Chain A
Amino acid sequence: MRADGYGDPAAVRGLVRQIRRAAERLPRAVTFMEVCGTHTHAISAAGLRRLLPEQVRLISGPGCPVCVTPVGYVDTAEALARRPGTLVCTFGDLMRVPSSSGSLEQVQAERGSVRVVYSPRDAVALARLSPDLTVVFLGVGFETTVPTVAAALAEAEASGVKNFLVLSGHKVMPPPLRALAADPQVRLDGLLCPGHVSVIIGARAYSFLPEEFGLGCAVVGFTPTDVLRGVLELVEQVVAGRPAVANLYGRVVSAEGNRTAWAVVERFFEPADAVWRGLGPIPGSGLELRPRWEGRDARALGVSVGPPVEPRGCRCGDVLKGVIDPPACPLFATACDPSQPVGACMVSSEGTCAAWYRHERLAAGAGRA
């Protein structure tokens, strides 16, 4: 399988060399954080961490929408799937997330009322085909995905499909970034910003990080060279003592983002406080359907769920903030592993703990930089 220019091994080698050279001038070891599950995945897939010099540490923050979806949301989704005459449609990512008592996958086995779709449009189409069903789409994801759900709502409105509803678990990125930057426990030297969220919100959305917190940012794409260019940039910013927002994904990211897309979001959604699994509540970090759309808000269906059962002893919050590495959690690899995930960080295959667990098994292996 040949790579294209963005994945060219020679370019990767060259960038690694440049990073090593630049890192020699670092005043101290540095920690950079990425906050996007797709970045976590891309970095793992190419084994990029192993190529970086020792003084540059790359960690994963709360960027995986699956990982940060609270247990209560999944419990509600399951309750909806058990409600008579209801079809729950979801992205594949949510199917195996553990809830208080099971998972959507298990409810599908029990009731046949959960359908995986690739696009929210597919759920609208299902609603159109079955007007007697209440179709609820599980709206999870950050700013990359919210516009697609809003557009699906717009399409349903325009074509008179009344039985398409959304259960919003959407979250937005700047508030948790602000919380991380302001948290004295968290020691970060730079941030790799999620490239596709940035397509929507624009590179300027991160200006507050260098301006208010002295934290440098690099907006990057998802190929190995994109990620490494970002690491190089952050190293150089630390060496020069000049934190800034560097847009290294100019081929798709602009300073102001996609205003058209955000206008569709604002038509249907408004900011709300939201709970992040592992991190707790963060004000203004979520999106809810506006009151005038109550008819499309699945919360108005009134399914009730018991109090969510949160795992005891789980230290996902500290892992997500980069304060500890996964092995420091008492549940890691004992009660909690990819086949029986307890907390947020193990739930998705690209959560920090899951990725760490899999790579532990190469501890004795080749491939270290």
Chain B
Amino acid sequence: MCLAVPMRLIERRDEFSGLVEAEGVQREVSLMLHPEAQVGDWLLIHAGYAIGGIDEEEARIALELLRQVADAEVPQ
């Protein structure tokens, strides 16, 4: 019910459409549900729509926290 993937907005096409990309794969999606998207933003894409943006600072903090957890582990 919640299959959504992060993809980066690389082009706005018209008022409500844009081109997003992840790992070289591109798709046109609708921005109607997240019209404030700017080119360069990472967006959460579900069923051909951007349903929200990804806060890069929050993501950075989350990954940093995980890296600390990982570093405390003895490698297997």
Do A and B contact each other directly (Cβ–Cβ < 8 Å)?
A: yes
Q: Which residues of A line the B interface, CB within 8 A?
A: 5-6, 8-11, 13-15, 17-18, 36-39, 63-65, 91, 118-122, 141-142, 144-145, 147-148, 151, 154-155, 194-197, 199-200, 222, 225, 250-252, 258, 260-261, 264
Check A200–B51 contact: CB distance below 8 A.
yes
Q: Across the interface, name the chain A residue whose C-beta is closest to B31.
A: A151
Residue from A10, A18, A120, A251 within 8 A of B48 (CB atoms): A120
> How far is the CB of B37 from the nearest CB of chain A, in Å?
11
Chain B stretch 17-43: residues in CB contact (< 8 A) with chain A: 30, 32-35
Given contacts A14-B70, A147-B33, contact A121 B48 (CB under 8 A): yes
A119 and B28 CA atoms in complex are apart in Å by 11
Closest 9 interchain pairs by CB?
A119-B48, A196-B2, A10-B70, A14-B69, A38-B2, A251-B58, A11-B70, A261-B33, A11-B66
Given contacts A252-B54, A261-B34, contact A38 B1 (CB under 8 A): yes
Give chain B's interface residue range (CB within 8 Å of chain A). 20 to 34
Q: Which residues of B line the A interface, CB within 8 A?
A: 1-4, 16, 30, 32-35, 44, 46-49, 51-55, 58-59, 62-63, 66-67, 69-73, 75-76
A194 and B4 CA atoms in complex are apart in Å by 12
Q: Which residues of A contact B53 (CB under 8 A)?
A: 252
Check A251–B54 contact: CB distance below 8 A.
yes
Q: Which residues of B contact A147 (CB under 8 A)?
A: 33, 49, 51
Q: Across the interface, name the chain A residue whose C-beta is closest to B16.
A: A155
Given contacts A11-B67, A148-B51, contact A39 B73 (CB under 8 A): no
> How far is the CB of B25 from the nearest CB of chain A, in Å?
13
Q: Which residues of A contact B59 (CB under 8 A)?
A: 251
Check B46–A145 contact: CB distance below 8 A.
yes
Given contacts A11-B69, A144-B1, A252-B52, contact A118 B62 (CB under 8 A): no
Q: Which residues of B contact A18 (CB under 8 A)?
A: 69
Q: Across the interface, name the chain A residue whose C-beta is closest to B28.
A: A121
A202 and B49 CA atoms in complex are apart in Å by 18
Name 15 interchain pairs, CB-CB below 8 A, sorted by A: A6-B62, A10-B73, A36-B2, A119-B49, A121-B49, A144-B2, A151-B33, A154-B32, A194-B2, A196-B46, A250-B58, A251-B54, A251-B55, A260-B33, A260-B34
